[in-house]
Each structure stands twice: as C-alpha cells, then as structure tokens.
C-alpha cells in the first residue's frame, strides 16, 4: 500500500468533522480526498470555518452520495447516529472509522432502547472493533469497521478498565461525575447552547439516562466478568472544549490507593498519550486542551475503602477525532503518534 492514505470525511461541517480535518492537515501520510456536508454542499471549508481560510486546496463540500469512492482508503463518519450507519453500511471498499454511536454497542435491542430507533445495520454490529485505542491495538490492523468510543466513555474507561481487570476496585458502586465543554453538544442551533444560556452557569443533563451509560457499562462488564451498573451524571460547563471526570470507586479487598496508582502506571507504561500525574496533582482540562493526551490520577477518599479517580481529556481530540486518527494509524501500520504530536494549548 502507498504511504499516502486517501481519506473522506463525512460531516465536515460539524465540530468533530472540522477537528478531524484540522488534525489530518498536519498528518504526514494523509491526503484529504473528499469532504461531505449535505446541508452545506457546494461551499468551501473556509466558507463555514474561518480558520480553514489558509487551506484553499481542500476539496469542496459535497453531498455524501456524490463522493467517488474509487481510490479512497478510509472514510471517517462524523455524522449523527442512525444517519451514519445507514450511509456507511452501503459502502464497499474503504475501511470505515465511525465516530457516531451506531457501532459501539453489541446489542441491537439495547441500541433501540437508548437511541429510540431500530438499528439501521444490525448485521454489522458484530463486525465492529470497539476503538478504544489502548485496548484495541491487536485488533485494529485487520479491522474493516472501527467504532470510536464516545468522549465520556473514553475518559471513564481509560481510568477504570485496568483497575477492574486486576481486581483493584470493585465493580459495585462506581459513580462518575463528568464535566464537558459545550462543543460536545454539537454545532446545530439549540436554544440551550446559546451564549447567554451557558455562560457563567453549570448544569447537569441526561440525569439517570445519558446515552453513554450503556456503552460504559458494556465495556466495564467485559473486563469485570460481570454485569456493571454505574451512576453517571454529566454536566455542561461554559468552555468550548475539554472534559473532566471525577470517579469514586470502592477499593478491592486488600487494595490501597498506592496499588491503584501502580496499576495505572504499569498498564500505560508504553501508551504515548496516557499519563499518570505525580502524586497529589489533580488533572485539569487545561493540561490537555487541543491535544490527544489524557491525564489521570488517584486520590484517597475520606470514606474508608474508597478512592477518587480523576481523568481529563479534550472531548474533540482524544474523545473523538484524535482517537479516530490514532486508530487509523494502527490500522494502516503507521506509528501510533503520527499527526498527533501537538502539545496542549495553554492558556
């Protein structure tokens, strides 16, 4: 295969699609062959994204059904759920990296329950590799369809999976409090996302029923070897991007906070984007903004036998487009960090 990977990005008019294009422009092996945005077809990227004005050679936006798939190596689906699976299921040839929720769950009935519609392509669900990169490395080289995790599950699972698998924490009484920037709600016009509605305010949403809950429980259950039910409360905070999760857990029998720190350090010793902070340093979104990095740490809870695990990511990069490119790198035999070495933005 040529060292140049020709990509198509579906949904380039949304935040996820635009960030994927931004990262792809700095990737040494990517050539952007096609960009779609049905509602914006005929426009240039710079017409809807001012920061793309210095890239006049980007292909114009077109309708997805008008893309010539001949010679395209991989398609990134940055479309809403249901829309994504319906379109991608009809493709033959390109490998698929889907950033929607359509192929993350294993069970079509659970998908229908949480997303309010029958799955458009249930036969493909079993073929998808769940693309939490640090736990999917062995499966990615042969994958034809990769389901990128949601942003909330990415942070939660990176924080918890090694601890559950080794028995350092209990599968019971896991409570996740999560904070996300407004870009996580998408770019469509919504009254609740107007500046006067979100500025100088924080509010919870999806109480007791956020759609990322079954995804987190599914993957935790696989590692724990038993059904896992979590308490999960997401909050919208007045910042553009970033995500912080504070997770309280029960220690496993005979385990200490030091054991948990050692477990994470060992688990991610060879993972270039996952970092365990020095003891006593709390992760913050400013540490990872604009980057594919993850910062984790663990603290003793005041309640005996419990610990607090904290994780911070950029919801649009490691929580979405950056992880998608990280997966692509491993699918095509490239260095895992290719195109993703940007240092975090600060301030």
Which residue is catalytic, options 78, 148, 151, 263? 151
Nearest to 13 by CA among 63, 74, 67: 63
**Cβ–Cβ under 8 Å, residues 81 and 101:** yes
Q: Give yes or no for a cis peptide into 220 (omega within 30° of 0).
A: no
**Cβ–Cβ under 8 Å, residues 176 and 243:** no
Q: Kindly list the strands in the beta sheet with 61-62, ordered across the sheet, starting from the edge strand earlier in the chain.
A: 61-62, 30-36, 5-10, 74-77, 95-98, 145-147, 129-130
Reply yes or no on whether 263 is catalytic.
Answer: no
3-state SS class at 32: strand
3-state SS class at 175: strand
HSE-CB at 243 with a 13 A cutoff on CA atoms is 31
Supply the residues annotated as catalytic.
151
């Amino acid at each position: 295969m040529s060292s140049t990977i020709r990509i198509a990005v579906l949904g380039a008019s949304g935040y996820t699609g635009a960030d994927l294009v931004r990262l792809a422009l700095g990737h040494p092996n990517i050539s952007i062959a096609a960009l779609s945005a049905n509602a914006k077809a005929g426009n240039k990227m710079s017409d809807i994204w001012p920061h793309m004005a210095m890239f006049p050679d980007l292909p114009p936006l077109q309708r997805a059904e008008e893309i010539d798939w001949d010679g395209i190596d991989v398609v990134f689906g940055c479309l809403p759920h249901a829309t994504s699976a319906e379109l991608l299921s009809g493709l033959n040839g390109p490998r698929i990296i889907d950033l929607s929720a359509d192929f993350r769950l294993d069970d079509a009935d659970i998908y229908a329950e949480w997303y309010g519609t029958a799955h458009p392509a249930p036969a493909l669900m079993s073929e998808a590799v769940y693309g939490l990169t640090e736990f999917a490395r062995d499966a990615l080289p042969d994958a034809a369809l990769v389901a990128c995790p949601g942003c909330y599950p990415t942070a939660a699972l990176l924080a918890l999976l090694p601890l559950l698998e080794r028995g350092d924490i209990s599968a019971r009484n896991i409570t996740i409090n999560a904070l996300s920037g407004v870009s996580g709600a998408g770019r469509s016009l919504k009254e609740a996302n107007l500046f006067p509605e979100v500025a100088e305010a924080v509010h919870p949403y999806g109480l007791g029923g956020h759609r990322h809950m079954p995804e987190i429980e599914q993957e935790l259950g696989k590692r724990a070897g038993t059904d896992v039910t979590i308490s999960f409360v997401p909050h919208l905070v007045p910042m553009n991007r970033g995500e912080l999760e504070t997770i309280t857990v029960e220690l496993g029998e005979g385990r200490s906070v030091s054991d948990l720190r050692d477990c994470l350090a060992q688990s991610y010793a060879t993972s270039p984007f996952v970092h365990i902070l020095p003891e006593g340093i709390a992760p913050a979104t400013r540490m990872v903004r604009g980057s594919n990095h993850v910062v984790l740490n663990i603290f003793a809870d005041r309640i005996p036998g419990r610990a607090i695990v904290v994780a911070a990511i950029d919801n649009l990069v490691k929580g979405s487009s950056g992880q998608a490119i990280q997966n692509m790198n491993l699918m095509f035999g490239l260095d895992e960090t290719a195109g993703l070495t940007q240092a975090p933005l600060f301030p």
